[in-house]
């Protein structure tokens, strides 16, 4: 047997017994019978020469990469915020529409959907009176938001002006609401449908209820320019109304109205120049507010009387 081949077989046997990680088969020999360089197996740990020979990224490049990733994240965040801002008016419109639909469904389950639609329209007309006057006064106002069995609300910062401005905004709702309820009467004459007569009556009643001289109702807003002490008279008068009607909205007015009346009365009596300027109203303006207030009460009472229908219960 040739010496070169004996050497290969012995080395092969030794390598197989020691489970060398870089040999997958018999080693090859060079032309002179010597062993060739070992061939690394894929997945095996790199040699020390390979590890030390691999180029490393500089600190400057790593910092630059991190800053680029952070900049991309900030740009994406700002783009998302911009998209949300552009969609905000649509979100307000969606909230308005959704609250109106929910209210129609809620009222429809109790009174029927035809009456529910008309009732929500009357609420919308009333609230739009506030919105129109707020915009005329230069005050930003939200879209009407409907709350089933509680009515509708419009949010605005009324305290940014004075008591006269607050009174005008407060009375604008019942003024336009009275017109809306009155328009149901000719619809009844034309169609002969008692639904419009019922809508007229409930519209007159709701606007008259809102004229009670207690905060946060519209009548309480009017009293800010006329006689703020009437808040307490209205609050006391509201207690028997709550007992007779058993309505949740009356109890809510008592709870939240009592807190607002007490807070505003204390602020008014603090003697600050800002509060004094807010409630300073000329006698002429106070008379105008009083005439509109009393005129609305008379018109609404007459409207309720003319549209009241007695129904016999079988």
Q: Give the mean pLDDT of 163-178.
A: 94
User: Which pLDDT does position 186 carry in this prediction?
Assistant: 95
Q: How many helices (H) and strands (E) does the chain have?
A: 12, 2
Q: Is residue 253 part of a domain?
A: yes
Residue 21 belongs to some domain of the structure:
no
What confidence tens digit (pLDDT) does each residue in 232-285 have? Answer: 999 998 888 888 877 778 888 888 888 999 999 998 888 788 888 889 999 999
Q: Please state the domain count of the chain.
A: 1
Is residue 122 a part of any domain in this protein?
yes
Expressed in angstroms, the distance from the first to the final Cα of the chain is 126
Q: pTM, whole model, 2 decimals? A: 0.68
Check: CB of residue 239 under 8 Å from CB of residue 250: no
Indicate whether 11 belongs to any domain. no
Cβ pair 289, 225 in contact under 8 A: yes
Lowest-confidence pick of 56-60, 97-101, 291-295, 301-305: 56-60
Share of the chain above pLDDT 90, in %: 40
Residue 74 domain flag: no
Burial 113-126 (b: 16+ CB within 10 A, else e): eebbbbbbbbbbbb
**Four-point Cα dihedral 212, 218, 220, 221, nearest 10:** -160
Is residue 22 domain-resident?
Answer: no
- Cβ(144)–Cβ(129) below 8 Å: no
Q: Tell me the residue range of the domain where 127 lies.
A: 94-307
Contact 103, 113 (CB under 8 A): no
Say if residue 91's pLDDT is above 60. Answer: no
Residue 258 forms part of a structural domain: yes
What does the pLDDT read at residue 283? 93
Model pLDDT, residue 18: 45
In a domain, 61, yes or no: no
Q: Tens of pLDDT along 93-103?
A: 777 778 888 88
DSSP 161-214: S-HHHHHHHHHHHHHHHHHHHHTHHHHHHHH--HHHHHHHHHHHHHHHHTTSSS
């Amino acid at each position: 047997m040739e010496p070169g081949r004996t050497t290969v077989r012995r080395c092969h046997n030794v390598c197989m017994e020691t489970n060398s990680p870089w040999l997958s088969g018999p080693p090859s020999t060079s032309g002179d019978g010597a062993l060739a360089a070992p061939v690394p197996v894929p997945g095996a740990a790199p040699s020390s020469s390979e590890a030390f020979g691999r180029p490393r990224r500089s600190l400057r490049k790593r910092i630059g990469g991190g800053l680029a990733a952070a900049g991309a994240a900030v740009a994406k965040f700002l783009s998302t915020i911009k998209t949300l801002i552009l969609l905000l008016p649509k979100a307000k419109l969606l909230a308005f529409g959704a609250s109106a639909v929910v209210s129609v469904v809620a009222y429809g389950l109790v009174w029927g959907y035809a009456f529910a639609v008309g009732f929500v329209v009357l609420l919308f007309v009333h609230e739009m009176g506030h919105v129109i006057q707020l915009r005329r006064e230069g005050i930003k106002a939200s879209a009407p938001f409907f709350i089933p069995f509680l009515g509708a609300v419009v949010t605005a910062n009324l305290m940014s002006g004075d008591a006269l401005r607050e009174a005008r905004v407060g009375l604008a709702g019942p003024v336009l609401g009275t017109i809306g309820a009155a328009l149901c009467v000719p619809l009844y004459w034309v169609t002969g449908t008692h639904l419009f007569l019922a809508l007229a009556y409930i519209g007159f009643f709701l606007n008259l209820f809102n004229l009670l001289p207690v905060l946060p109702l519209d009548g309480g807003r009017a009293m800010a320019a006329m006689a703020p002490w009437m808040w307490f008279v209205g609050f006391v008068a509201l207690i028997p109304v709550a007992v007779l009607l058993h309505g949740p909205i009356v109890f809510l007015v008592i709870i939240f109205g009592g807190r607002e009346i007490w807070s505003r009365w204390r602020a008014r009596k603090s003697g600050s120049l800002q509060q004094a300027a807010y409630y300073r109203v000329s006698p002429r303006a106070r008379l105008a507010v009083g005439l509109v207030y009393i005129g609305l009460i008379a018109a609404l009472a007459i409207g309720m009387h003319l549209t009241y229908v007695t129904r016999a219960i079988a």
